[in-house]
Structure 1
Amino acid sequence: METGLAGKTVVITGSAMGIGRATALAFAREGARVALVDRDGDACEGVAGEIRSLGSEASIGLGDLSTDAGVRTAITAALKPFGGAPDVLVNNVGSGAVRTFDELTDEDWDKTLQLNFMSYVRATRLLLPAMRERGGAIINNASDLARQPEPVPVDYSASKAAVLALTKGLARAEAPKIRVNAVAPGPIWTPFWSKPGGFAETMGKFHKMPPKEAVEHEMSLRQLPLARLGEPEEVANVVVFLASDRASFVTAAVWGVDGGSIRSII
């Protein structure tokens, strides 16, 4: 399928691993130039090498994306080799841990919102002037928990619900030149889950089970029709579609990639 992405410049935040890495490689396979934005330089170098082996161009910008200075520094550096103006922005960076409402402090709430929501605001604000000149697409990585929250993690769910509100508002404000959509993944097996201190480990503490058993227990509670965790590539495929010419009449949409977790008809 012809996507029209060859030669386009794509910025991806949180691109060192997981869904970000899979998305970077998926765009590279379409011939896009990929600006990798993250704080993990070694992992980004690895992804950049994979992109170049596919015959596409890659650049890297490093910074703490939970801060305004970090977002500006990293994105500016990543775009410099490509002339500074992107065609596509993928706001993907995020983190979370399983904690009850009573356990969450103001500092926890602020940390979650700064990375999972304000990084999207800051990256978009930085790049919109250039994108308004040439048109383009913005894809925000949200979550099924934005639309169907569970008891935990409520701070993560709230941050992702804010991402959906941002997506809808920007889609109306920036039309018709810029399309703005969101993907809402369900549980996807990535380092977000498997890393030390990630969702699996903290879920294990919450359910008082070993991490793997806790994840399996959580999936049974959610009653996923597809009865498994998703793969990063399955989300990346939808992101690439939403950025492509094939989705030219799609904006303000929220695309679930969730194994059927959302039961609502809207």
Structure 2
Amino acid sequence: MKTNLEGKIVAITGGATGIGRATAVAFAREGAKVALIDIDKAGCDETVALIEAAGSKASVGLGDLSTGDGVATATKAALDRFGGVLDVLVNNVGSGAVRSFDQLTDEEWEKTFQLNFMSYVRTCRLALPIMRERGGVIVNNASDLARQPEPVPVDYGASKSAVLALTKSLARAEAPKIRVNAVAPGPVWTPFWSKPGGFAETMGKFHNMPPKQAVEHEMSLRQLPLGRLGEPEEVANVILFLASDLASFVTSSVWGVDGGSVRSII
């Protein structure tokens, strides 16, 4: 089956590491040109090398995606190399830490929503005028916690629920020329988890356990049918499908890539 992604221009926020990097490489292997939008220059440079090794071209736009100016500057810089054209937008950037509701301040709630939700709003605002002329696809990276919230991290789950609401609204508003879908990953082992201050370390503090033991404990609580964390490439494969012509009749959908963590039938 052919994806028909060759020659397409794909912008990926948070493309420097993790799911974003795996997605960038997956698109490059299909012949798409990839515009990386991130704050991490070193990580972007490594991803660019992987894209070029796959035989494709890349550009980079650097900026703080938790701010309006950062999103605008980085997105413009990334797309300028490809003539301002855009066929696919993958909203992937995000961050989180494990904290209880009582521990969260207003400032921490605001910080979570600015990066995990408002960055998506802002990139869509920039992308839609381009896509309305030529058609396009938007894929938003949400989370299983958007559909099945856990006690922690409540701010992260709430921000991802907002992403799903945005996805559904835009899918209806922009059809039939633009398709808008979301992936909802479960726990996937990336720097999002392993970095200092990431999910693993903060989960360890929350459960009063070493990070690795805390992650294993959390997975046992969630009773994942597949019994393991996912890999970034497993999410990238679904994003690639949703962006391709293979999913030409798919819009306003939420695709779980979660090892079976979500139990609801809807």
Both structures adopt the same fold (TM-score exceeding 0.5)? yes
Shift of 1:66: 0.2
AA in 1 matched with 2:39: R
Residue in 2 that maps onto 1:207? 207
Distance 2:51 2:15 in 1: 12
AA in 2 matched with 1:109: W
Say whether residues 1:73 and 2:73 are aligned partners: yes
Counterpart of 1:102 in 2: which secondary structure? helix
Distance 2:108 2:168 in 1: 26
Residue in 2 that maps onto 1:33? 33
AA in 2 matched with 1:165: A
Shift of 1:42: 1.1
Which 4+ residue blocks in structure 1 deviate beyond 3 angstroms? Answer: none
Structural mapping, 1:39-58, within 5 Å: 39-58=39-58
Residue in 2 that maps onto 1:254? 254
Q: TM-score, normalised by structure 1?
A: 1.00
AA in 1 matched with 2:189: W
Structural mapping, 1:86-101, within 5 Å: 86-101=86-101
Say whether residues 1:117 and 2:117 are aligned partners: yes
Q: Is the 8 A contact 1:85 1:127 kept in 2?
A: no
Shift of 1:200: 0.2
Q: Is the 8 A contact 1:16 1:44 kept in 2?
A: yes
Q: TM-score, normalised by structure 2?
A: 1.00
Residue in 1 that maps onto 2:155? 155
Distance 2:145 2:5 in 1: 30
Distance 1:85 1:121 in 2: 19
Distance 2:197 2:79 in 1: 32
Say whether residues 1:83 and 2:83 are aligned partners: yes
AA in 2 matched with 1:6: E
Distance 2:211 2:57 in 1: 38
Shift of 1:206: 0.3
Say whether residues 1:198 and 2:208 are aligned partners: no
Counterpart of 1:82 in 2: which secondary structure? coil
Structure 1 alignment gaps of length 5 or more:
none
Q: Deviations over 1:193-227 (max 9, x none)?
A: 00000000000000000000000000000000000
Distance 1:106 1:126 in 2: 28
Structure 2 alignment gaps of length 5 or more:
none
Distance 2:23 2:193 in 1: 18
Residue in 1 that maps onto 2:102? 102
Counterpart of 1:35 in 2: which secondary structure? strand
Distance 1:180 1:60 in 2: 24
Distance 1:191 1:3 in 2: 29
Distance 2:198 2:43 in 1: 18
Q: Deviations over 1:118-142 (max 9, x none)?
A: 0000000011101110001000000
Residue in 2 that maps onto 1:264? 264
Residue in 2 that maps onto 1:240? 240
Distance 1:66 1:126 in 2: 15
AA in 1 matched with 2:234: E
Residue in 1 that maps onto 2:8? 8
Q: Deviations over 1:163-220 (max 9, x none)?
A: 0000000000000000000000000000000000000000000000000000000000
Distance 1:40 1:90 in 2: 17
Aligned CA RMSD, in angstroms, stands at 0.4
Structural mapping, 1:156-235, within 5 Å: 156-235=156-235
AA in 1 matched with 2:83: G
